[in-house]
């Protein structure tokens, strides 16, 4: 990159007209610095003379009555100037509010639907997966919590699956462009008004990048700030939200477009069971979110972003390797899921809520948590750690639908009710594990049910390889009216559905 940059600079220098000699002088360099300093600190420089004059007048005329009057006037000017300075400092230091104007979730064409039987038949006809492991996949599917209407790209419906980079790129375009088109129509925002673009897709990383593909298709302006995140797993969607929030703090009056999707670009056809699990859980999906820091967008926005918390436990080898892309003995590549995944996810969640808790919990819950901590760590008492009641703070929970075991673990750790878990379980049932986009399908479910009221707080939780646990806290700015352009609207009356309890592996054999 450095060599390319040098070549470009040489080429540009050759194309420019000759630069006057004084521009390269030391005088010009310092004059330019002085100019920027003067413009950036104009208000302060205008106020300083008033402060100086007030101090001089105070020293010279403090005894005379008229001078005392002038002193009072100047003191008032001084007080006013200081108030203005403090107000400016406060406004400059206060974080900009970030609003979620709207979001869209992609609902694939019915031709993409893949029943459990279709998936098993495709794997069976590949002739490379043993009958014993086909039975293993069947048991996983029975226990997965997935329904019969989830989606996989049509290329994976073929026997054997035939999936190359052309099909992969085309499927990515269908998902990404479909969600963005719907979002722009909802918000009535022109593509040229987007100043920040953040895209995440863990597995499919073409060149040019997916963000470049979006810039090209929608003809975004040349100054757009682009990021393309890859390899960050199912929690990358909330990482993208956090990154967009940070960028909106330094780019005023801007729109940020966040796109989260996963390309299911291969079906593992080997016999390593830790890799076969991903065949059973992951499905196609994607979402697009429009964020804004414009105060004028507050009235039409759905939510305000309150907190983002990121937790990374990758310094521990067990956490780092529990979700790992690698080759099996036959040189087939896939993502292996470790048996320790649930334990690792539970530890990452506890680390995340330890950071989030003090920001959101009432003082009563914080004191109980502190007392439990002191009892265990200081007095070495054999008591369970106190789990704060987050139901006191949040009305809605959008927990990454990574699998039934993940949801069961979070439900147990946070002591949530079936009602709180319903959006996550129904998303897993209807759409499967759509990776980083799943918390948005869950929020769309709550909206379609008409549950979001003004002032409600929503907690989104994402888990991903590395291992990471990330949180985003949103506040509803108004009552959310169920909209037609929602992936759930044409079938929401049929939900929730009953999902049978987990049958143990030994019982299902």
Q: What is the pLDDT of residues 378-423, one digit of tens each?
A: 888 888 878 889 999 999 999 999 999 999 999 999 999 999 999 9
Q: What is the pLDDT of residue 92?
A: 61
- According to the model, what pLDDT value does residue 466 have? 92
In the structure, what pLDDT confidence band is assigned to residue 21 with cuts at 50, 70 and 90?
very low
Catalytic residue among 168, 352, 396, 469: 396
Q: Which whole number is the average pLDDT over 285-305?
A: 97
61 is catalytic: no
CB 171 within 8 A of CB 284: yes
Q: Which long-range contacts (CB under 8 A, 24 or more apart) does 128-132 make?
A: 128/269, 128/270, 128/271, 129/269, 129/270, 129/271, 129/276, 130/271
Phi-psi region of 31 (alpha: psi -120 to 50; beta: other; left: phi over 0): alpha
Joined together, the tokens standing for residue 272 give 């390593």
Name the residue with higher pLDDT: 442 or 202.
Answer: 442
Tell me which residue of 386, 401, 407, 309 sits closest to 353, measured CA to CA: 309
396 is known as an active-site residue: yes
pLDDT at 14: 41
**Over 80: is that where the pLDDT of 85 sits?**
no
Q: Percent of the chain having pLDDT more than 90?
A: 63
Conformation bin of residue 479: beta by default, left when phi > 0, alpha when psi is -120 to 50: beta
The separation between CA 387 and the C-alpha centre of its own chain, rounded to angstroms, equals: 25
Whether the per-residue pLDDT at 193 is higher than 90: the answer is: yes
- Catalytic pick from 271, 433, 470, 486? 433
pLDDT in tens, 25-78: 455 545 545 655 555 566 566 666 666 666 665 555 555 555 565 666 767 777
Q: Which listed residue (102, 123, 312, 352) is catalytic?
A: 312
Please determine, for residue 215, whether its predicted confidence score (pLDDT) is greater than 60: yes
Summary mean pLDDT of the chain? 86
Residue range 240-285, pLDDT digits in tens:
999 999 999 999 999 999 999 988 867 788 899 999 998 889 999 9
pLDDT in tens, 440-479: 999 999 999 999 999 999 999 999 999 999 999 999 999 9
Residue 177: phi and psi, rounded to 5, are -65, -35
Residue 198: the pLDDT is: 98
| Pairs from 493-502 (Cβ < 8 Å, separation ≥ 24) | 495/426, 495/430, 495/445, 496/422, 496/425, 496/426, 497/147, 497/426, 497/429, 499/145, 499/425, 499/429, 502/143, 502/404, 502/408
Task: Dig out the tokens for 107 from the structure.
Answer: 């609902």
From 400, 420, 469, 486, active-site residue? 400
pLDDT at 268: 85
Q: What is the pLDDT of residue 93?
A: 65
- Residue 273: predicted pLDDT: 93
Q: Is the pLDDT of residue 5 over 70?
A: no
pLDDT, tens digit (0-9, with 9 covering 90-100), for 301-330: 999 999 999 999 999 999 999 999 999 999
Is the pLDDT at 216 greater than 60? The verdict is: yes
Which of the four pLDDT bands, split at 50, 70 and 90, describes residue 188? very high
């Amino acid at each position: 990159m450095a060599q390319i940059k040098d070549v470009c600079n040489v080429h540009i220098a050759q194309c420019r007209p000759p630069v006057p000699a004084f521009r390269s002088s030391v005088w010009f360099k310092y004059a330019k610095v002085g100019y920027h300093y003067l413009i950036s600190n104009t208000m302060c420089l205008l106020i300083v003379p008033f402060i100086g004059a007030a101090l001089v007048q105070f020293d010279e005329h403090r005894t005379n009555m008229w001078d005392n009057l002038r002193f009072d006037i100047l003191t008032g000017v001084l007080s006013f100037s200081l108030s203005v300075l403090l107000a400016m400092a406060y406004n400059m230091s206060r974080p900009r509010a970030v609003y979620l104007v709207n979001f869209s979730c992609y609902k694939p064409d019915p031709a993409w639907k893949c029943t459990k039987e279709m998936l098993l038949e495709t794997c069976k006809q590949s002739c490379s997966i043993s009958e014993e492991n086909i039975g293993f996949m069947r048991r996983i599917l029975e226990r997965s919590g997935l329904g019969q209407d989830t989606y996989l790209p049509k290329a994976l419906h073929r026997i054997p699956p035939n999936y190359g980079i052309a099909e992969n790129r085309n499927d990515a375009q269908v998902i990404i462009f479909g969600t963005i088109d719907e979002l722009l129509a909802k918000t009535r925002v022109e593509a040229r008004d987007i100043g920040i673009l953040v895209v995440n897709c863990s597995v499919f990383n073409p060149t040019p990048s997916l963000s470049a593909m979006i810039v090209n298709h929608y003809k975004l302006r040349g100054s757009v700030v682009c990021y393309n995140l890859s390899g960050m797993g199912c929690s990358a969607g909330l990482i993208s939200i956090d990154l967009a929030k940070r960028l909106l703090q330094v780019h005023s009056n801007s729109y940020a477009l966040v796109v989260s999707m996963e390309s299911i670009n291969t079906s593992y056809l080997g016999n390593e069971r830790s890799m076969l699990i991903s065949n059973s859980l992951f499905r196609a999906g994607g979402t697009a979110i429009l964020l804004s820091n414009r105060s004028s967008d507050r009235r039409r926005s759905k939510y305000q972003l309150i907190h983002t918390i990121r937790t990374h436990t990758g310094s521990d080898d067990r956490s780092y390797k529990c979700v790992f892309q690698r080759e099996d003995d036959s040189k087939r590549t896939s993502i292996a899921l470790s048996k320790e995944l649930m334990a690792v996810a539970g530890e990452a969640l506890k680390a995340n809520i330890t950071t989030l808790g003090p920001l959101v919990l009432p003082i009563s819950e914080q004191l109980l948590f502190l007392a439990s901590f002191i009892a265990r760590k200081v007095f070495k008492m054999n008591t369970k750690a106190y789990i704060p009641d987050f139901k006191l703070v949040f009305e809605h929970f959008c927990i990454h639908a990574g699998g039934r075991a993940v949801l069961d673990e979070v439900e147990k750790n946070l002591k949530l009710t079936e009602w709180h878990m319903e959006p996550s379980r129904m998303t897993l049932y209807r759409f499967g594990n759509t990776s980083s986009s799943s918390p948005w399908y869950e929020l769309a479910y709550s909206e379609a049910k008409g549950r979001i009221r003004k002032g409600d707080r929503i907690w989104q939780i994402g888990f991903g390889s590395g291992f990471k646990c990330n949180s985003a806290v949103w506040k509803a700015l108004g009552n959310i009216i169920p909209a037609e352009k929602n992936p759930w609207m044409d079938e929401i009356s049929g939900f929730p559905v009953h999902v049978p309890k987990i049958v143990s592996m030994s019982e299902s054999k």
